[in-house]
DNA sequence: TGACAATATCGAAATACTGCGATAAGTAGA
DNA sequence: TCTACTTATCGCAGTATTTCGATATTGTCA
């Protein structure tokens, strides 16, 4: 839970997390994503980087932190890595605050 | 909200927050607290410091951060400063995660 | 295989946080 | 007023985080 709060203690990462709630309106379509993976909320690193306005290495680092904290999961397809939200962790975090904090 | 997550990104502060959920079982009685303020969850700095196992200056700093983030409120009575949880902020934080994140 | 594109990792400098000891400020009582 | 007690603030050293540029890795395609 400590790693989760550390992730959330950064406004850029918070924004990424909220953007990924609605990829269709926040990112261009993932044209290389195979049909069977579409509609699952996957977004590739490049477009997240562009929107976040940080360097590629920074966004890659951030996404990795978020993955370690299980706030995101990822899938590599071809030369792209697609990240999406892990709703279960988000929900558990909310519940943790509501019932344990 | 950023300040809140920064506060939560520290295990000692998390512990303090949870201890303050139930002062009666986690802290000795506040014998100097006037009758009309009892039962409101107030705990003085000294006993929090002792239980947290950090120095007085550190706990004072932490409590101040938590107050800035509105996770705690405080009242000075005599030579003691009493802190208690601000349940409203906790609840709003949980709701923020559940509905905006 | 070679060139290119996307992402990950490395190394480093700037900044922020942690947590301490020392000291200051406020309060109460003799 | 002097002293003791409680808490706040200051200054600092150690550590962690932020964020970058450079480089490595991985995958694609000609």
Q: Which A-chain residues 11-70 have CB contacts (< 8 A) with chain B?
A: 11, 14, 17-18, 21
**Contact assignment for A98 to B94 by CB distance below 8 Å:** yes
How far, in Å, CA of A48 to CA of A51, rounded?
Answer: 5
* Alpha-carbon distances, residue B30 vs A43, A96, B72 (angstroms): 54, 29, 18
Question: How many CB pairs below 8 Å do chains A and B form together?
Answer: 51
A36 pLDDT band, cuts 50/70/90, is very high
Listed as ranges, residues in chain B with pLDDT below 50 are none
Crossing angle between the packed helical segments B11-19 and B56-68, to the nearest 10 degrees: 80
Q: Tell me what pLDDT residue A10 has.
A: 98
Q: Tell me what pLDDT residue B41 has.
A: 97
Tokens standing for residue A2 = 């400590």
Q: What are phi and psi of B84, to 5 degrees?
A: -145, 165
Q: Tell me what pLDDT residue A6 has.
A: 98
How far, in Å, CA of B70 to CA of B78, rounded?
Answer: 23
Three-state DSSP class for residue B54: coil
Q: Tell me what pLDDT residue B11 has.
A: 97
Report chain B's mean pLDDT, rounded to a whole number: 97
Contact B66, B72 (CB under 8 A): yes
A95 pLDDT band, cuts 50/70/90, is very high
Q: Tell me what pLDDT residue B82 has.
A: 98
Q: Tell me what pLDDT residue B81 has.
A: 98
Three-state DSSP class for residue A44: strand
Q: Tell me what pLDDT residue A3 has.
A: 97
How far, in Å, CA of B26 to CA of B84, rounded?
Answer: 13
**Contact assignment for B97 to A97 by CB distance below 8 Å:** yes
Q: Tell me what pLDDT residue A89 has.
A: 97
Report the pLDDT averaged over residues A15-40. 97
**Nucleotides of strand C within 7 Å of the protein's CB atoms:** 5-11, 17-23, 26-28
Nearest CA in chain B to A71: B101
Question: Which residues on adjacent β-strands are paired with residue A77?
Answer: A80
Structural domains in chain B, CATH included, are 2-95 (1.10.10.10)
Interface test with A, best of B15, B66, B97 (most A CBs within 10 A): B97
Rounded, the Å distance between the CA of B62 and C1' of D11 is: 17
Tokens standing for residue A85 = 């939200």
**Contact assignment for B94 to A94 by CB distance below 8 Å:** yes
Q: Does A6 touch chain B (CB under 8 A)?
A: yes
How far, in Å, CA of A95 to CA of B91, rounded?
Answer: 10
């Amino acid at each position: 839970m400590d790693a989760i709060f550390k992730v959330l203690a950064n406004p850029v990462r918070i924004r990424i997390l909220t953007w990924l709630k609605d990829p269709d309106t926040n990112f261009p379509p993932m044209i290389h994503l195979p049909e069977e993976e579409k509609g699952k909320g996957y977004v590739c690193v490049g477009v997240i980087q562009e929107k976040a306005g940080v360097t590629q290495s920074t966004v890659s680092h951030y996404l990795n932190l978020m993955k370690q904290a299980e706030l995101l999961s990822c899938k590599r397809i071809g030369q792209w890595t697609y990240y999406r939200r892990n709703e279960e962790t988000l929900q558990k975090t909310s519940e943790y605050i509501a019932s344990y904090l």
